[in-house]
Amino acid sequence: MTHEEHHAAKTLGIGKAIAVLTSGGDAQGMNAAVRAVVRVGIFTGARVFFVHEGYQGLVDGGDHIKEATWESVSMMLQLGGTVIGSARCKDFREREGRLRAAYNLVKRGITNLCVIGGDGSLTGADTFRSEWSDLLSDLQKAGKITDEEATKSSYLNIVGLVGSIDNDFCGTDMTIGTDSALHRIMEIVDAITTTAQSHQRTFVLEVMGRHCGYLALVTSLSCGADWVFIPECPPDDDWEEHLCRRLSETRTRGSRLNIIIVAEGAIDKNGKPITSEDIKNLVVKRLGYDTRVTVLGHVQRGGTPSAFDRILGSRMGVEAVMALLEGTPDTPACVVSLSGNQAVRLPLMECVQVTKDVTKAMDEKKFDEALKLRGRSFMNNWEVYKLLAHVRPPVSKSGSHTVAVMNVGAPAAGMNAAVRSTVRIGLIQGNRVLVVHDGFEGLAKGQIEEAGWSYVGGWTGQGGSKLGTKRTLPKKSFEQISANITKFNIQGLVIIGGFEAYTGGLELMEGRKQFDELCIPFVVIPATVSNNVPGSDFSVGADTALNTICTTCDRIKQSAAGTKRRVFIIETMGGYCGYLATMAGLAAGADAAYIFEEPFTIRDLQANVEHLVQKMKTTVKRGLVLRVTGFWSPPGRNEKCNENYTTDFIFNLYSEEGKGIFDSRKNVLGHMQQGGSPTPFDRNFATKMGAKAMNWMSGKIKESYRNGRIFANTPDSGCVLGMRKRALVFQPVAELKDQTDFEHRIPKEQWWLKLRPILKILAKYEIDLDTSDHAHLEHITRKRSGEAAV
């Protein structure tokens, strides 16, 4: 990347103007996107305008279209809804309305429009763009605009960001607002679960989703619901019998409650609506269970955005500005979307067309086609749900294999969800499943027991590790471990944990040379708040920790906003891995995030202090600084992001240099980051990882069966299951060795480091933005065939 290309991003917007509007139903995270569009637009030298009240503001003009400043988007990152307002607009549907909108834009020299909304809003934007030349010539003929104004505004660039809690837009894995809506739903489901258990009740919960069952489907996976009704997959004709049988079986197994999730658009095979009241009446009439209905309604749209939605909104906002400023008259209107953890640009109308095709397929009762059009991620969710909720485990275990499941390392929220799905999928496949307590230590000591279906009942929503977890590695205890593998006839091992789970896996591979008993397939599912396991972009538990940090930062910012002129230095977990500090910095709007991977000197610290001194002269009189620290120090090594620049040192420096200008306070978050109930993302991710790991395990055991016993000695019989860019992949632990920095317990390459410039730009640092890695326009057909993981 040359200096000229670097510099180009800073000058890309000079002489250009961008307008940003939010339209249609509001969604949490829209404000993060608006904030990013404004700040990155200003960074590139462009003028940025707010359009208040959506398309209505565009039509009405006047004070509805206001120039934005850097400070005008301060403190909006953590707010739900949309601060600039949204409205349904009839006027814009008429050509006369669009003519007025074009006039308002031309008069302000705005030729770039960023629309944040659902498919209806984005379709409207595309219509506007296609008519642009005709609208200008009409305005010229009427003498409303000059020839010079028409020439200056000869074409209109449009980029869409999808803000919709339903996740009903094809072409993106997640729309802005979906994750936050799931947070609201899960908070309620968790609360209802406790009361339902007390009274042995059945609860029918109705969630939003008129044409899309995503919220209902992921909720059912995340809470282990007995049944889910979604519009894309109507139940079979005898569903009433099947449902009642399923509910009574759950009770027979010892469960004290039943949860049924219904999307508001749920239908049967004939297109007839299935309402929550219908289901309640059926359960009461046939089974006589005490049954209650809860309709969640607009609660799902409310509340503060989750960390995921803030980061998604911010990343999409940055990408939208780049797409607008790089646009030409020939570039089609595009939508910036998410595929795996990659930002991609897709032609807007292709996405709208596929989204309409889903509705059309459902109208024509082609439900299999509707499911396929929703994409791989949706189908994966549906397949795992069907397995866990509808398939009965076989009674006999003849010809079955024995698989053991264990947790290794520090506790992480979501570990229990992974154990639950691993155990249950194992049982469904007819295997005998053992659980090991206290990691490799328990495997050596024989703390092993068989798990039945109800052993893991209700585990999805529970934080920490129910099996118990330790950091002990296996090498010292190979003899005892080998003896127990033989004693319990263990033929495969699922290891759920952090960096120690990975290094433990490497030790098992080495140990195979000495001990034949260790020649069994094993798979590592990454689960650690630090997100430092090689071979995976995400670890189970990191999202929960990120949300915990975010919530704390929000409260601290609120306190700082009240007292004015105050800077908070917050220490996060992470060892040598700066993932939590960087992502929390993005999600909480931090001024700086100090991490090991990006070395810093005293000069950098001085520059940061000076930056905060300047900030205190504006209307935003508060600062937030994050620093990652090691929470576990191996003997003889101090694990810090920088050994000398400790949190205390940084705090003392800020206190001294800020004297008379700002106060400094420090806050060490500590072990609260490892606790708490797992977020919907972690529950869903863990459930799918457990299911995928167990499916792989069954295949590998069959493959390794020789002369009446299991013998697995190939590199691909010991893998890490990780999410890489757009897919869930199994990678041999031995191959990951070269990609690992063992001294610092981190992967050598980490995808999230590319997001650090965004954090700095949004905090108003004059830095270079590397645009070489920006998304290029793809096509939706290619996108849908790639496997999206979560």
Q: Which residue has the tokens 């599912």?
A: 525
DSSP states of 692-752 as a string? HHHHHHHHHHHHTEETTEE---SGGGEEEEEEETTEEEEEEHHHHGGGEETTTTEES--GG
Report the sign of the C-alpha dihedral through residues 345, 322, 74, 612, in that order.
positive
Nearest residue to 627 (alpha-carbon basis) of 674, 656, 669: 669
281 Cβ contact list (under 8 Å, min separation 6): none
Report the sign of the C-alpha dihedral through residues 25, 31, 32, 33, in that order.
positive
CB 770 within 8 A of CB 10: no
- CA 109-112-116 angle, to 5 degrees, is 130
In angstroms, the CA 20 to CA 84 distance is 9
- At 611 the three-state DSSP class reads helix
C-alpha dihedral over 367, 371, 373, 379, to 10 degrees? -170
Query: What does the H/E/C string look like for 290-349?
Result: CEEEEECHHHHHCCCCCHHHHHHHHHHHHHHHHHHHCCCCCCCCEEEEEECCEEEEEEHH
Q: Which residue has the tokens 């049944």?
A: 227
43 Cβ contact list (under 8 Å, min separation 6): 9, 10, 13, 761, 769
671 Cβ contact list (under 8 Å, min separation 6): 631
CB 662 within 8 A of CB 616: yes
In angstroms, the CA 750 to CA 731 distance is 16
CB 403 within 8 A of CB 697: yes
Q: Which residue has the tokens 């596929």?
A: 354
Catalytic residues: 166
